[in-house]
């Protein structure tokens, strides 16, 4: 158990819908990263937050957004969902930027 928690574990929704994935980092970790794991794209970095501020963006679609709250938990919002958004979404945290990242168990999203 890495200490990073993610909810929900599974999510099934329809195209066009909007969902919110939640991540709680390890105690004391200020940095949160979001990754998408799909069969054809592998593990792709989406976005990073540090102490509430966006730090870096990767291959994140405009339909996706995220934020980190004052209590350091983070949410990833996915809207206008498409079939291709079906994937595992992982959150990782680290004490500060550049330190070893520890991953949560992931949220499996299925868009029908």
Partner 1 sequence: AQSVAQPEDQVNVAEGNPLTVKCTYSVSGNPYLFWYVQYPNRGLQFLLKYITGDNLVKGSYGFEAEFNKSQTSFHLKKPSALVSDSALYFCAVRDIGGTYKYIFGTGTRLKVLA
Contacts with partner 1 by CB under 8 A lie at 2, 4, 31, 33, 35, 42-43, 45, 48, 55-56, 58, 90, 92, 97-98, 100-106
| Least CB distance to partner 1 at residue 30 (A) | 12
CA distance 96 to 50: 7
Q: Please compute Rg for the chain using Cα positions.
A: 13
CB nearer to partner 1: pick between 64 and 90: 90
What number of CA atoms fall less than 13 Å from residue 71's CA on the CB side? Answer: 5
CB nearer to partner 1: pick between 18 and 57: 57
CA distance 74 to 35: 13
Q: Which two tokens stand for residue 2?
A: 């890495």
| Least CB distance to partner 1 at residue 16 (A) | 28
CB nearer to partner 1: pick between 35 and 64: 35
């Amino acid at each position: 158990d890495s200490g990073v928690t993610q909810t929900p574990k599974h999510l099934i929704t329809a195209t066009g819908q909007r969902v919110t994935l939640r991540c709680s980092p390890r105690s004391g970790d200020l940095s949160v990263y979001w990754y998408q794991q799909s069969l054809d794209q592998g593990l792709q970095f989406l976005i990073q937050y540090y102490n509430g501020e966006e730090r870096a963006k990767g291959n994140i679609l405009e339909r996706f957004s995220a934020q980190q709250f004052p209590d350091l938990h983070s949410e990833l919002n996915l809207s206008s969902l498409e079939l291709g958004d079906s994937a595992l979404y992982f959150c990782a945290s680290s004490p500060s930027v550049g330190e070893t990242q520890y991953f949560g168990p992931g949220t499996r999203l299925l868009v029908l």
